[in-house]
């Protein structure tokens, strides 16, 4: 049996932003959010499409801190 869980974009951004890391990987995001690495990869792809992160290498994404803070109202 599988369970589907929806995570809000604000929650995901707060979790990633709260780490203080400049770079994240699918493995790190999967550990933070408690999802599979495949789901984490899809989340990172969506965040990249939205402009919150940008691909740095095959595995890592650079977090755009200014974009995170603008979304958070800071």
9-72: which CATH number, 3.30.365.10, 1.10.10.2520, 3.40.120.10, 1.10.10.10? 1.10.10.10
Can you count the helices (H) and strands (E) in the chain? 4, 3
Burial class (CB in 10 A: 0-12, 13-18, 19+), 74: exposed
Element (H, E) at 43: helix 37-50
Local confidence band at 66 (pLDDT 50, 70, 90 cut-offs):
confident
pLDDT value at residue 38: 97
- pLDDT tens-digit map of 24-52: 999 999 999 999 999 999 999 999 999 99
**What is the C-alpha separation between 58 and 71, in angstroms, rounded?**
26
Tell me the pTM.
Answer: 0.81
**What is the C-alpha separation between 40 and 26, in angstroms, rounded?**
5
């Amino acid at each position: 049996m599988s369970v589907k869980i929806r995570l809000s974009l604000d929650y995901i951004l707060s979790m990633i932003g709260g780490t203080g890391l400049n770079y994240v990987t699918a493995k790190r995001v999967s550990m933070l959010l408690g999802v599979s690495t495949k789901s984490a990869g899809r989340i990172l792809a969506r965040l990249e499409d939205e402009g919150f992160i940008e691909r740095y290498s095959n595995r890592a994404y650079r977090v755009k801190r200014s974009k995170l803070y603008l979304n958070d109202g800071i």
